[in-house]
Chains A and B, each alone.
Chain A
Amino acid sequence: MRLLRAPIGACAAALVAAIAATRVVAAPIEPTRDDEVIEVLPATSASRSEDRQLRRRLAERPGDARLATAVAERYLAQARESGDPRFAGLALAALAAWPDAAKAPNEVLLLRATLEQYLHEFDASVDHLRILLARPGNERNAQAWLTLATVLRVQGRYADSDVACRRVGSGGADVYAAACLAENAALRGETAAARRSFQELLADPRLAPSTRGWLLTSLAELEERDGHPGAAEAAYRAVLHLGRDTYAAIAYADFLIAQKRPAEALAVLKDEARTDTVLLRVAIAATRANAAHRERDVAEMRDRIALANERPEASVFHGREQAMFALAIDRDAERALALARGDVARQREPLDVLVFAEAARASGRRDAIEDARRLKSTLGLHDRRIDALL
């Protein structure tokens, strides 16, 4: 009898666990009428028939570089607008006629490198940009240099990025060259010079709103890293005052969450499309603010991560977001640390290093804290938020 009691207990426990773990992720659809709508396709900025026409023309003439880049650019713009990576895949497919980078036309190669940057394939992106920039007549391709400078910065290679920034200027885009250099200077901690540089650039009344927004966001991030929350907030608010800017809204929300003002973070994000990056912040802010919808947001984000992770490489690609989720929602420091470690191996923006440092601190592991400290000093990154953790 005693022998049987254990299995019964185990059975009961497992039964409870099974019920708790159950969540329906898929359900059959059983349409009854022909006019029943079973799927709404993602919205496109242009007309659908035009999209389709372009696709058909490209299928007929896959080697037409101009047509191919036009199609790819359309898809890339859609990917950025919606945050939907499927469009990046479609864009890559449009360029499939040139598998050999050495033989790809300039504009194809540039677009491919840009897509690789979008897909976080930074090394491939750098390689392709270098091939392009080594070609005669392309030494002054400002956009290629600027893309290269950005990718190198994301990788944490500030000195290499500086070289690329200077070449942007040689292509005639002085504003961008100056902003590019100021960005790197700010990351290295030359904050006074960088701040002055941004302010000078912003003083030009003819700046396009998108450029102004970019400069202001960079300034806000500089102030945040340099420990001036008041100045950072003013700059973030100025960006959002110019118009909608998803990148700035997310950065501002992160700032507000860090300032323990989660309810305001929710307000900043309330009109943004629920892309994964947005939803992650919403889930964290809702949890911190004890909002009524917090459980739904967290569950949705958890489902999305689980779905993405059906591909083994997903946790590498999205290590930063998954680490933030593990840390802020699950309070699983070990998992967050492993994810953050994988993330900083390829991507070293200040937020990546910050998340790594937070995970290391939360885990309480000396070696991890030491690794984070070493990474920060190798990069030469100046960030007082990280200093406070290490």
Chain B
Amino acid sequence: MRSSERSGWRAALRAVVAVALLLAAAAAVAHKASDSYLQITAAPGRVDVRWDIALRDLDVALDLDGDADGKLTWGEVRGAWPRIEAYALQRLAIEGCALAPVGRGLERRNDGAYAVLHLSAACTLPPKPQIAYGLFAEVDPTHRGIAKVQRAGTAVELSVLEPSAAVAGGGVVGAASAAALSPASRPASAPPNGARAGAVARWEFFAEGIRHIVTGYDHVLFLLCLLLPAVTRRAPQGRVPVARLSAAVWPVAGIVTAFTVAHSITLGLAALKIVSLTPAFIEPAIAATIVLAALDNVLPIFPVRRIVVAFFFGLVHGFGFASVLAELELPRADFAWALLQFNLGIEAGQLVIVLAATTVLFALRRWRGYARFVIGGGSAVAIAIGALWFVERTANVSILPF
């Protein structure tokens, strides 16, 4: 009797609270829930993951805010970084890949600051990879991981990952991914934090520069477009081959120098954060420079000399190099030196390409079909590829396999 009286009274009291709460509930809808963002880039034998995780979510799991003042300072986050990496790595497994941290960053998004984890593994991503995801499973069951998987030459695959507690415990989530999940298969010798510290001393950024120009087909194609007609000159009867090597070398040297000076300027400006342009604009713009340069070979559209064209378009390409540089995350301490290495690497790679191309073109210059097939045909191919790239990069679809 007494207990039922009491429960009735308590129920009434709670109802008062409930009413106030119910009212508030109706007002509170449509918000950003907790999401992490995974960008998984797969190439044969290599998988790179960029993982953005909100600092405020990490704070709940790891108490990042050491002094509990409600503010996360860089010192607090930096000090906690090994814990962040350890926590996150235990909660992600990609089938067949042993991910190891290779870099770090911070990103400001609309809903706050995010820790950026760069992970990498030497593995080939299976066609339908099983991704075991357990981030924040014990902290917030409504959390999700938004994964974008990009393979060379295919469209981006989007998937939403639901955290499952099984991963956090290192348990079996599925037969296929079980191996990747067991602690034993994790790299015992994961690179220590700040793995990039010695990179400058080892000239790694020089190598990155070379790698970028040699595998950056768009820059190579643009250079080739500029070089195609350089072993000929315009005459009243059409294009005629130049007589001596020196007659070809000077225009080539001029064009390459103009291109180099220009892209070094913008690379520097962008790297120093004086000017910044989004890749969404730069990437299609680079494709457009190829189309226009190739077009100019078959029907002159620029009222200025080629060296001027090379300079102006070089400015655009420099921003392209800069976006690669941003992904590399240059060390702050040796920033200028790393930048110089990267630039020198680009120039070295470029020099090799130019020498090889000029040699071949010079040898071919007296061929009767040079103007028609090499300049005309080559430019037509460049226009086609450039245009397709342009479409790919603006519409965000994949057409070409490179």
A binding-site residues for B, Cβ under 8 Å: 1, 4, 7-8, 10-11, 14-15, 17-19, 21-22, 24-44, 47-49, 52, 55, 76-77, 79-81, 83-86, 88-90, 92-93, 96, 114, 117-120, 137, 140-143, 146-147, 150, 168, 171-173, 176, 208, 210-211, 213-214, 217, 245-247, 250, 275-277, 280, 303-304, 307-308, 310-312, 317-318, 320-322, 349
In chain B, positions 47-91 with a C-beta closer than 8 Å to chain A are 52, 55-57, 59-60, 63, 65, 68-75, 77-78
Q: How far is the CA of A247 from the CA of B19 in the complex (A)?
A: 13
Interface residue B268 (Cβ < 8 Å from any Cβ of A): no
What CA separation (Å) do A349 and B70 show in the bound complex?
38
Taken together as a complex, chains A and B put the C-alpha atoms of A307 and B295 apart, in Å, by 40
Contact A39 B299 (CB under 8 A): no
Asked whether B173 is an interface residue with its Cβ less than 8 Å from the other chain, the reply is no
Q: Does B141 contact A (CB under 8 A)?
A: yes
Residues of B within 8 A of A28 (CB): 105-108, 116, 326
* Besides the known contacts A310-B146, A321-B29, 18 further A-B residue pairs in the complex with CB atoms under 8 A apart: A10-B387, A11-B390, A26-B107, A28-B106, A36-B73, A41-B65, A48-B70, A83-B28, A84-B31, A96-B138, A117-B22, A117-B25, A143-B14, A171-B8, A176-B15, A245-B23, A311-B160, A317-B30
Interchain residue pairs with CB less than 8 A apart (23): A11-B288, A14-B284, A22-B278, A28-B105, A38-B74, A38-B77, A40-B72, A44-B70, A48-B70, A52-B68, A85-B31, A114-B18, A114-B25, A119-B142, A172-B9, A176-B19, A208-B16, A214-B23, A245-B23, A246-B27, A308-B31, A308-B32, A311-B160
- Does B280 interact with chain A (Cβ within 8 Å)? yes
Choice from B12, B28, B110 contacting A142 with Cβ under 8 Å: B12
In the complex where A7-B387, A89-B140, A171-B8 touch, is A37 in contact with B71 (Cβ < 8 A)?
A: yes
Interfacial chain B residues near A18, Cβ < 8 Å: 280-281, 284, 393-394
Nearest Cβ distance between residue B111 and chain A, in whole angstroms? 7
Residues in B neighbouring A21, C-beta threshold 8 A:
280
A269 to B326, CA, bound (A): 41
Alpha-carbon distance between A58 and B34 when the two chains are bound, in angstroms:
21
Determine the residue in chain A with the shortest Cβ distance to B284.
Answer: A18
Proximity string of chain B (1-22) to chain A, C-beta cutoff 8 Å, 1 when within and 0 when not:
0001001110110111111111
CB distance from A43 to the nearest CB of B (A): 7
Check A89/B143 contact, CB under 8 A, given A247-B23, A247-B24.
yes
Secondary structure dominating the interface of A: helix
Say yes or no: A277-B56 contact (C-beta < 8 A), given A15-B288, A21-B280.
Answer: no
What residues of A have a CB within 8 angstroms of the CB of B59 in the complex? 41
B278 engages A143 (CB within 8 Å): no
- Residues of chain B within 8 A (CB-CB) of A280 are 30
Residues of A near B144 (CB, < 8 A) are 311
A278 to chain B, nearest CB (A): 8
Separation in Å of the B360 CB from the closest CB of chain A? 26
B121-162 interface mask toward A, CB cutoff 8 Å, 1 = contact, 0 = none? 000000000000000001111111010000000000000100
Q: How far is the CA of A20 from the CA of B73 in the complex (A)?
A: 36
Q: CA of A304 to CA of B21 in the docked complex: distance in angstroms?
A: 25
Residues of A within 8 A of B106 (CB): 28-31, 38
From A11, A24, A81, A276, contact of B387 by CB (8 A): A11
**CB-CB under 8 A for A8 and B295, given A85-B142, A140-B11, A172-B9:** yes
Determine if A38 and B72 form an interchain contact, defined as CB atoms under 8 angstroms apart.
yes
CB-defined contacts of B274 to chain A, threshold 8 Å: none
**Is the pair A80, B21 in contact by a Cβ cutoff of 8 Å?**
yes
Contact of B30 among A92, A141, A321 (CB under 8 A): A321
B31 to chain A, nearest CB (A): 4
Distance between Cα atoms of A1 and B70 in the complex (Å): 65
Nearest opposing residue in chain A for B24, CB measure:
A80
The 5 closest A-B pairs by CB, nearest first: A34-B75, A89-B140, A31-B74, A89-B142, A318-B30
Residues of B within 8 A of A83 (CB): 27-29, 31
Which residue in B33, B284, B285 is a CB contact (below 8 Å) of A85?
B33
Q: Please, which residues of chain A bring their CB within 8 A of the CB of B262?
A: none
Q: Within 8 Å of chain A (Cβ to Cβ): is B26?
A: yes
Please determine whether B70 and A143 come into contact, CB atoms closer than 8 angstroms.
Answer: no
**Which partner residue on chain B sits nearest A114 by CB separation?**
B21
* With known contacts A14-B390, A208-B16, A92–B141 Cβ distance under 8 A: yes
Instruction: Check if B291 is an interface residue, CB within 8 A of chain A.
Output: yes
| Neighbouring A residues of B15 by C-beta, 8 Å | 142-143, 146, 168, 171, 173, 176
In the docked arrangement, what's the CA distance between A317 and B144, Å?
Answer: 15
- Known contacts A28-B105, A36-B74, A92-B140; is-contact A311 B55 (Cβ 8 Å): no
Q: In the complex, are the beta carbons of A79 and B28 less than 8 A apart?
A: yes
Q: Roughly how many angstroms separate A8 CA and B73 CA in the complex, as a whole number?
A: 50
- Chain B positions within 8 Å of A44 at CB level: 70
Q: Cβ of A307: which chain B residues have Cβ within 8 Å of it?
A: 32, 110-111
In the complex, how many angstroms separate the beta carbon of A115 from the nearest chain B beta carbon?
10
Docked complex Cα distance between A81 and B21 (Å): 10
Question: Please, what's the 1-or-0 string for B254-289, where 1 marks a CB less than 8 Å from any CB in chain A?
Answer: 000000000000000000000000101100110010
B window 198-240: CB within 8 A of A: none
The answer to whether A29 and B75 touch across the interface, beta carbons within 8 angstroms, is: no
Chain A residues with Cβ under 8 A from B18's Cβ?
Answer: 114, 143, 146-147
B25 touches A80 (CB 8 A): yes
Contact of B141 among A15, A93, A317 (CB under 8 A): A93
Residues of chain A within 8 A (CB-CB) of B395 are 14
A77 to B18, CA, bound (A): 11
The reply to whether the CB of B383 lies closer than 8 angstroms to some CB of chain A is yes
Chain A residues within an 8 Å CB radius of B143: 89
Say whether A42 contacts B12, CB under 8 Å. no
**Are the C-beta atoms of B16 and A211 separated by less than 8 Å?**
yes
Assembly CA distance A208 to B34 (angstroms): 36
